[in-house]
Amino acid sequence: MGSIPLIFPCGRVQGKEDVMAKKVEAVKATVISVKGTCGQGHKVGDSFTITESGIQGKICIHALYSMLPAAFAMLFDVNFPWLTDADKKTHACPDAANPVVFEIAKVRQT
């Protein structure tokens, strides 16, 4: 039996080229700074992982919602030209009064 093709929300069917081109297996976000009191209790060192099949770990829904576009792009190995390290970026949660800063990093296949 063959594998079942993955159909993306835009209607495009995942082909062999998509699977072979992918070098990133996950994106890991780690808290690197907390100023004030995080409503969800995030502390420096807390982390969670995003894969194509879901999220593993604890994450504030507001922080997740704000970082998801960049994290999803990084999952598909997009490079942002303004970053000095193409595999890492920082992202602040949207709570300006109590900002939590995450480092988002690509987890490459070994």
Indicate the pLDDT class of residue 23, thresholds 50, 70 and 90: confident
**pLDDT score, position 1:** 47
Taking residue 39's Cβ as centre, other Cβ atoms within 10 Å add up to: 13
Rounded CA separation 73/5 (Å): 21
Q: What is the DSSP letter of 45?
A: T
pLDDT at 16 > cutoff 70: no
At 84, which amino acid appears? T
Query: Which structure tokens are listed for 107?
Result: 């987890």
User: In this predicted model, what pLDDT tens digit does every residue of 40-88 receive, in sequence order?
Assistant: 999 999 999 999 899 999 999 999 999 999 999 999 999 899 999 999 9
Q: Provide the mean pLDDT of the chain.
A: 85
Any idea which residue has 């997740």 for tokens?
Answer: 64
How many angstroms separate the Cα of 56 from the Cα of each of 2, 11, 47, 75, 93?
A: 28, 27, 9, 14, 18
Q: Residue 105: name the closest of 88, 82, 92 by CA.
A: 88
CA-CA distances (angstroms) from residue 28 to 17, 34, 47, 58? 24, 17, 7, 12
pLDDT recorded at residue 106: 95
